[in-house]
Amino acid sequence: MSYVRGLKCRECGQNYPEKGVHVCETCFGPLEVQYDYAAMRGKVTRESIEAGPRNLWRYRDLLPIHGEPKSGLHSGLTPLKRARNLEKVLGVRELYIKDDAANYPTWSYKERVVSVAITKAIELGYDTVGCASTGNLANSVAAHAAEAGLRAFVMIPHDLEQGKVLGSLIFNPTMVRIQGNYDDVNRLCSEIADKYRWAIVNVNLRPFYTEGAKTFGFEIAEQMGWQLPKHTVCPTAGGTILPKIYKGYRELIDLGIVADNQPRIYSAQAAGCNPVVEAIRAGRDLIKPQKPKTIAKSIAIGNPADGFYVVQAVKESGGWGEDATDTEIVDAIKLLARTEGTWTEPAGGTTLAATIKLIESGRIPRDESICVCITGNGLKTVEVVVDQLEPPASIPPSLEAFDALMAGRESVDPAPASV
Amino acid sequence: MAVKVRIPTPLRSLTNGVDSLDASGADVQSVLAEVCQRFEGMDKRLFKQPGELNRFVNIYVNNEDIRFLDNLSTPVKDGDDLSIVPAIAGG
Distance CA A138, CA A88 (A): 37
Tell me, what DSSP letter sits at residue A127?
A: S
B10 touches chain A (CB under 8 A): yes
Q: Which of A20-34, A120-134, A332-346, B68-82 has the lowest mean pLDDT?
A: A20-34
Of residues B8, B67, B90, nearest to A194 (C-beta): B8
Distance CA A407, CA A20 (A): 66
pLDDT at position A324 is 98
What are the C-alpha distances in Å from A308 to residues A236, A239, B33, B76? 11, 8, 27, 29
Average predicted confidence (pLDDT) for chain A = 94
- Give me the amino acid identity at A13: G
Listed by number, the residues of chain B in 19-78 with a beta carbon closer than 8 Å to a beta carbon of chain A are 19, 45, 54-58, 60, 63, 65, 67-68
pLDDT band for position A1 (cuts 50, 70, 90): confident
pLDDT at position A345 is 97
More confident of the two residues A405 and B8: A405
Question: What is the per-residue pLDDT across A15-31, written as a single tens digit (0 to 9) for each?
Answer: 999 988 878 888 888 89
Q: Which residue of B has its CA nearest to A130?
A: B90
Tell me what the mean pLDDT of segment A149-166 comes to. 93
pLDDT at A410 exceeding the cut of 90? no
pLDDT at A181 exceeding the cut of 90? no
CB contact under 8 A, B65 and A299: no
What is the CB-side half-sphere exposure of residue B17 using CA atoms within 13 A? 0
Distance CA A347, CA A299 (A): 6
Structural domains for chain B: 2-86 (3.10.20.30)
Tell me what the mean pLDDT of segment B47-69 comes to. 89
B85 touches chain A (CB under 8 A): yes
Q: Which residue of B has its CA nearest to A196?
A: B9
Distance CA B2, CA B28 (A): 12
- Selected for mutation to probe chain A from B20, B64, B88 (highest A CB count within 10 Å) is B88
Torsion angle in degrees (nearest 10) through CA of A49, A52, A56, A60 = -70
Q: Is the pTM of this model over 0.80?
A: yes
pLDDT band for position A360 (cuts 50, 70, 90): very high
Q: Which residue of A has its CA nearest to B59?
A: A187
pLDDT at position A412 is 58
pLDDT at A223 exceeding the cut of 90? yes
Whether the CB-CB separation of A129 and A138 falls below 8 Å is answered with no
What per-residue string of b and e applies to B31-58 under the rule 16 or more CB within 10 Å gives b? Answer: bbbbbbeebeebeebbbeeeeebbbbbb
- Give me the amino acid identity at A292: P
What per-residue string of b and e applies to A209-226 under the rule 16 or more CB within 10 Å gives b? Answer: bbbbbbbbbbbbbbbbee
pLDDT at A419 exceeding the cut of 80? no
pLDDT at A252 exceeding the cut of 60? yes
CB contact under 8 A, B89 and A137: no
Q: Which residue of B has its CA nearest to A300?
A: B91
Chain B partners of A298 at a C-beta cutoff of 8 Å?
91
Q: What is the 3-state secondary structure (H, E, C) of A254-316?
A: HCCCCCCCCCEEEEEEECCECHHHHHHHHCCCCCCCCCCCCCCHHHCCCCCCCHHHHHHHHHH
> SS3 of A80, please?
strand
Distance CA A52, CA A108 (A): 22
pLDDT band for position A168 (cuts 50, 70, 90): very high
pLDDT band for position B1 (cuts 50, 70, 90): low
Tell me what the mean pLDDT of segment A276-284 comes to. 96
Whether the CB-CB separation of A90 and A46 falls below 8 Å is answered with no
Q: Which residue of B has its CA nearest to A113?
A: B90
Of residues A28, A184, A190, nearest to B63 (C-beta): A184
Distance CA A116, CA A64 (A): 8
H helix intervals, A124-213: 136-148, 162-169, 182-195, 206-211
Tell me what the mean pLDDT of segment A144-173 comes to. 95
CB contact under 8 A, B91 and A137: yes
A199 touches chain B (CB under 8 A): no
pLDDT at position A411 is 60
The DSSP result for A342-366, as a single string, is: --B-HHHHHHHHHHHHHHHTTSS-T
Q: Which residues contact B83 (CB under 8 A, 6 or more apart)?
A: A187, A191, B5, B6, B8, B59, B60, B63
Q: Kindly report the CATH number that applies to the domain delimited by A80-107+211-384.
A: 3.40.50.1100
Listed by number, the residues of chain A in 87-126 with a beta carbon closer than 8 Å to a beta carbon of chain B are 110
pLDDT at position B89 is 57
Distance CA A300, CA A290 (A): 9
pLDDT at position A413 is 58
Tell me what the mean pLDDT of segment B63-70 comes to. 88
More confident of the two residues B67 and A342: A342
Tell me what the mean pLDDT of segment A168-176 comes to. 97
Longest dimension (CA), chain B: 38
Q: Which of A213-227, A302-316, A338-352 has the lowest mean pLDDT?
A: A302-316
pLDDT at position A187 is 80
Chain A partners of B55 at a C-beta cutoff of 8 Å?
11, 29, 286, 308
pLDDT band for position B59 (cuts 50, 70, 90): very high
CB contact under 8 A, B91 and A136: yes
Question: What is the per-residue pLDDT across A93-125, written as a single tens digit (0 to 9) for each?
Answer: 999 999 999 999 999 999 999 999 999 999 999
Chain B partners of A30 at a C-beta cutoff of 8 Å?
56, 87, 89
Chain A partners of B91 at a C-beta cutoff of 8 Å?
110, 133-134, 136-137, 202, 237-238, 240, 298-299, 301
pLDDT at position B90 is 54
Question: What is the per-residue pLDDT across A38-70, written as a single tens digit (0 to 9) for each?
Answer: 999 999 999 999 999 999 999 999 999 999 999
Question: What is the per-residue pLDDT across A191-211, written as a single tens digit (0 to 9) for each?
Answer: 888 789 899 999 889 999 999
pLDDT at A415 exceeding the cut of 80? no
Indicate the length of chain B as a whole number: 91
pLDDT band for position A414 (cuts 50, 70, 90): low
**Least Cα separation, residue A403 to chain B (angstroms):** 49
pLDDT band for position A183 (cuts 50, 70, 90): confident
A212 touches chain B (CB under 8 A): no
ipTM above 0.85, yes or no: no
**Least Cα separation, residue A80 to chain B (angstroms):** 23
pLDDT at position A236 is 97
How much of chain A, in percent, has pLDDT values that exceed 70? 98
- Selected for mutation to probe chain B from A27, A114, A203 (highest B CB count within 10 Å) is A27
Signed CA dihedral, A167, A171, A177, A178: sign only: negative
Q: Which residue of B has its CA nearest to A10?
A: B56
Distance CA A133, CA A7 (A): 24
Distance CA A156, CA A322 (A): 27
Q: What is the 3-state secondary structure (H, E, C) of A162-174?
A: HHHHHHHHCCCCE
**Least Cα separation, residue B24 to chain A (angstroms):** 23
Burial of A418 (0-12, 13-18, 19+ CB in 10 A): exposed
Burial of A23 (0-12, 13-18, 19+ CB in 10 A): buried
**Least Cα separation, residue B11 to chain A (angstroms):** 7
**How many CB pairs (< 8 A) connect A and B?**
107
> SS3 of B18, please?
coil
Whether the CB-CB separation of B89 and A210 falls below 8 Å is answered with yes
Domain boundaries, chain A: 80-107+211-384
> SS3 of A16, please?
strand
pLDDT at A142 exceeding the cut of 60? yes
Q: Which residue of B has its CA nearest to A193?
A: B9
